[in-house]
Structure 1
């Protein structure tokens, strides 16, 4: 029997159909650019995921890790709203058991940040109500992963990548499909019921001269032991978060992202603008500024 004060009962009493929370979210559109950019999914059939659509983005969550394996967002640079306030609070997604989400217990009373995977402002475009809904949707724990609280240039560079790439989208169409997630390795250090990822990845897709183009990036927060020895030793204490280092940002071949993550990135490896080199020292290009990004083959 449905309790009289339940949402389902209230809807029935009003003569309207009951809609579960977030049921109207359409999620990421793989045809947003005009050419297909599929949602990234694990290439291994034994990896279980839950696909969670939100407003203009989708989260592919791994319940065994309690966080996303991948996210995908559509960014319409011409329709972005700049003045949507950051007033939302983090919340669980009601469509998924809380035991499969990394909630506030992971982040409480420590130095870890709730790192947005889909950046808060990326899906915030369209009509005002639609944009505000997208803003709120980014504050689900399913869209967060533990990140070091170190504030440095490399982290700021990572956060500004989408803005830089929007300016380079072909024909000034200013549309991007951005895929992002943590690199989930079995060796990631455990902490409060989760394993803290040491790397994050991002692949941006856009059109250039009518053809699909892509660039790939890795953000590394593993400790640089010669430089972060004091922080690493402090992090080794019982009950403290695992030691994390200052962020380092790299542009990498999209093929390497696919191999690192065991995700199927569809056509994006072939659309990569970064030439693949065999020389290890040159294959991953460390970025000091946006000027270092390779956006042209050859």
Structure 2
């Protein structure tokens, strides 16, 4: 049976044209600003010294991807992503960080919201997170702070774009803090602290691992593994570092947290788990030597355990 494509054209951006009496049409806002429905150009392939293209989906999951204007790559300001229709979360998110022009912006007043360009049924929203006893948080895949760079108008737009539900996955309320004393949430900061990053520029990819036995909660399968890959240049040499976080969740009514573990892994291991293919330059830039199986390795306990060589 032929695979079903999940396609979408841009939704009407909340405006309508009305005659102004001078032969021109005047736009009247009905529900939301036009800008909110028109995010920026997305992840920049040419952000680093060598081109780093967006991941390609394995044929086994490619039919699951939601398409926008005929493409599975959905752009926002300073990041792009591919969205899984059946799982309703991003398959991958790719973003650029310009450490030389980072801005500090407030998040107050910005609401989490569905992307109006995409089918609402392909996005998990507040129904998963509501309730005073629910310990699931809305966790950004592309960190909000990573995206706030460039001209102020771009940084402000990226700030808002980061709150689309397409960039959100469910995480325990102490997810980043509990993962080896916050190591998972500080990986991007760590590379700037520990490495002489050329031009202070880093490209990052991240996302969940979709496992068939992920436990359901409120009708949604909750990913229990996440991955992140950092790409940068040091002394003119391209480098690539990959990390995997596994979480053991007892998805009972109380959503008890058992354990977080962070591992440094090969890029090829992320490709196998996430069913995607990274740019060939990333595999060449990944020099980590790991002869043992993942289950035989020790998790990272602190930032000093990361191999940046």
Please give the TM-score of this superposition, normalised by the length of structure 2. 0.81
Alignment of 1:148-227 (within 5 A): 148-150=172-174, 151-154=177-180, 156-170=182-196, 172-223=198-249
Is 1:44 matched with 2:44?
Answer: no
1:35 Cα deviation from its structure 2 partner: 0.9
Contact 1:92–1:103 (8 Å) recurs in 2: yes
Contact 1:22–1:54 (8 Å) recurs in 2: no
Between the aligned partners of 2:254 and 2:216, the Cα distance in structure 1 is 9
Between the aligned partners of 1:113 and 1:38, the Cα distance in structure 2 is 31
1:209 Cα deviation from its structure 2 partner: 2.6
Is 1:291 matched with 2:307?
Answer: no
- 1:96 aligns to what? 118
SS across alignment from 2:45:
coil
Is 1:273 matched with 2:271?
Answer: no
Residues 19/114 of structure 1: CA separation in 2 closer, same or farther (3 Å cut):
closer
Residues 155/219 of structure 1: CA separation in 2 closer, same or farther (3 Å cut):
farther
Between the aligned partners of 1:116 and 1:277, the Cα distance in structure 2 is 32
- 2:135 aligns to what? 111
The runs of 5 or more residues in structure 2 that have no matched partner are 1-13, 67-72
Contact 1:67–1:102 (8 Å) recurs in 2: yes
SS across alignment from 2:182:
helix
Structure showing the higher strand proportion among its residues: 2
Contact 2:198–2:236 (8 Å) recurs in 1: no
1:221 Cα deviation from its structure 2 partner: 1.2
> Cα deviations across residues 109-130 of structure 1 (Å, max 9, x unaligned)?
1110111100011111011111
Residues 63/57 of structure 1: CA separation in 2 closer, same or farther (3 Å cut):
same
Alignment of 1:65-144 (within 5 A): 65-81=87-103, 83-87=104-108, 88-109=110-131, 110-144=134-168
Is 1:249 matched with 2:262?
Answer: yes
Post-superposition, which runs of at least 4 consecutive aligned residues in structure 1 deviate over 6 A?
A: none
Between the aligned partners of 1:162 and 1:254, the Cα distance in structure 2 is 17
SS across alignment from 2:100:
helix
Residues 262/155 of structure 1: CA separation in 2 closer, same or farther (3 Å cut):
farther
Between the aligned partners of 1:158 and 1:74, the Cα distance in structure 2 is 18
Between the aligned partners of 1:97 and 1:41, the Cα distance in structure 2 is 22
- 2:3 aligns to what? none
SS across alignment from 2:272:
helix
CA RMSD of aligned residues (A): 2.4
Between the aligned partners of 2:275 and 2:81, the Cα distance in structure 1 is 16
The runs of 5 or more residues in structure 1 that have no matched partner are 1-5, 224-231
- 1:226 aligns to what? none
- 2:40 aligns to what? 25
Please give the TM-score of this superposition, normalised by the length of structure 1. 0.84
Matched residue count: 275
